[in-house]
A and B are shown apart, each in its own frame.
Chain A
């Protein structure tokens, strides 16, 4: 362990300021960070081992639950590897639908991140705005898949759910709205002094460091590393759409903000192309229960960066080995570098800027009525109305936001 002789404070693994369990041992000199040791693994649930003991069909569900936000990323990355081993040719329509959900997931993830970043720098208005707008894409995902997270769209050999012409119109409407909002946020990031001053020069990661430390995703691209799996190693329908790989040379948290905002615009562009050109045809091909012996490595550009899955099969209905490398693990070394010689007060936003995986909420709430002891289920709509009325009773005027 480095920095043994410095004054150390532990932050985590359980700490009110952390959204997930992770241990930081911070070596300080005054308020300056001399070095950080990071202990991970508190969320290790043995999913790789569990995959070896279940059939592929169940593994798709299990893998989808590696992460709440990137659920589609992981399930796609996994089924791609299995399909490759089994030699299955994905129907075109299925690959378009997969790509569509993937980009919608990126939109929801990036908007979520923008809100969290706003919150971490004390700009909670930005959190409220972005999370309100994020509901547009969450509603679209719920409409298309039935779920806000863990969409359950993928099956080995295709997708489960089709998209109707009227749904396409709804998605396009949503994209128009979100594009307008995103333009506003880009304008905000370009001109708002609070954002520029608070994020510039914070969490610096030079181009060379980003390369040598193996950073991925927006974290790397904000240091001028033009790597994007969607372009470099195309999968699903990405070879058939045109988009730009967004990079930035600020090399700091500000750059990471700009990259994500501009990536949102690219996502809208991709989604429009997919919906315009989606071919007719079947949704899936039949997959064998026993997958022939073989191995495959699959890559996927998740919202946080490159996701890697390796699958080895042995001819049975259960995999021999499943390996998952999520993007955050690749960015840990970069975080250490970003924090070095910086102030302790910058730590929350620097860590948040790589967008480590946070949990997402459920849509259903079960409440117990204390008078009767009965359990009731509140639907999302009822909960929304309840929330609005709760605030109305306390004098908050909603007439401008509840259109």
Chain B
């Protein structure tokens, strides 16, 4: 059985995942969508049992009413598991994963600055990547945010 199918099988056995919530787009790529509340369970299982030992990146997405967060995890063998969760735009809160991957610090600060997602458990520190004087409530990667046009250019 190919590695991706085996991973999907194990995930489905452990958690109740609907068929349309998990898919492979090509060799070594799995996309999975879970409820925000179930994320940590799935995440821990992927780390410990499925050996997704590496965090490649975290991507924020603006999906109109909701904000989504995509965790890109990789095995040493090259398979990438992309776990997606959604949070409401009015109250976007997620929990940090810096306890497992300290490298996530910068990625989660990006979510804070660019999407206005509140990351619970993130240690205090410098913001990233926007400047210190950046106005509050301005989240550049949200779709309704447009850069200010200066001098008509």
Q: Which residues of A contact B (CB under 8 A)?
A: 1, 23, 37-41, 44, 46, 48-49, 84, 211-214, 227, 229, 232-234, 294-297, 299, 306, 308, 310, 312, 320-321, 323, 325, 329-330, 332-333
Asked whether A37 lies within 8 Å of B129 as measured between CB atoms, the reply is no
Residue of B nearest to A225 (CB): B76
| Residues in A neighbouring B141, C-beta threshold 8 A | 48-49
Q: Output the least CB separation between A90 and chain B (Å).
A: 13
Distance from B63 Cβ to chain A, minimum over Cβ atoms (Å): 9
Cβ of B126 and Cβ of A306 under 8 Å apart? no
Return A74 CB to nearest CB of chain B, in Å. Answer: 14
B106 engages A310 (CB within 8 Å): no
Contact of B77 with A by CB under 8 A = yes
* Contact between chains at A39 and B128 (CB < 8 Å): yes
Contact A1:B125 (CB < 8 A) given known A233-B80, A295-B31, A308-B57: yes
Q: Can you list 8 A-B pairs with a CB-CB distance of less than 8 A?
A: A44-B129, A46-B147, A49-B140, A294-B25, A297-B29, A299-B80, A312-B61, A333-B105
Chain B, residues 78-120, CB within 8 Å of chain A (1/0): the string is 1010100000000000000000011101110000001000000
- The answer to whether the Cβ of B55 comes within 8 Å of any Cβ in the partner chain is yes
- Complex CA–CA separation, A221 to B108 (angstroms): 26
B126 CB contact (under 8 Å) in A23, A49, A320: A23
Q: How far is the CB of A192 from chain B (nearest CB, A)?
A: 34
Minimum C-beta distance from B24 to chain A (A) = 12
User: Which are the 7 A-B pairs with shortest beta-carbon distances?
Assistant: A41-B129, A214-B103, A233-B78, A325-B57, A44-B129, A39-B126, A232-B78
Total interface residues on B, CB under 8 Å, equals 40
Bound-state CA distance A78–B114 (Å) is: 21
Residue B56, interface by CB 8 Å? yes
Verify A211–B76 contact, CB threshold 8 A: no
Complex formed: what's the CA distance from A41 to B54 in Å?
24
Query: Which chain A residues lie closer than 8 Å to B56 at the CB level?
Result: 297, 299, 306, 308, 325
What CA separation (Å) do A229 and B29 show in the bound complex? 14
- Contact between A37 and B29, CB atoms less than 8 A apart: no
Say whether A233 contacts B28, CB under 8 Å: yes
Query: Any chain A CB within 8 A of the CB of B131?
Result: yes
Cβ-closest chain B residue relative to A311: B59
B55/A214 in contact, CB under 8 A: yes
Q: Tell whether, in the assembled complex, residue B126 and residue A38 are in contact, meaning their CB atoms are under 8 Å apart.
A: yes
Q: At the interface, yes or no: B124 with Cβ under 8 Å from chain A?
A: yes
In the complex the two chains form, is A232's CB within 8 Å of B77's CB? yes
Contacts of A295 on B, CB cut-off 8 Å?
25, 31
B60 partner residues in chain A, CB cutoff 8 A:
323
A310 touching B59 in the complex, CB below 8 Å, given contacts A214-B102, A214-B103: yes
Determine if B70 is an interface residue (Cβ-Cβ < 8 Å): yes
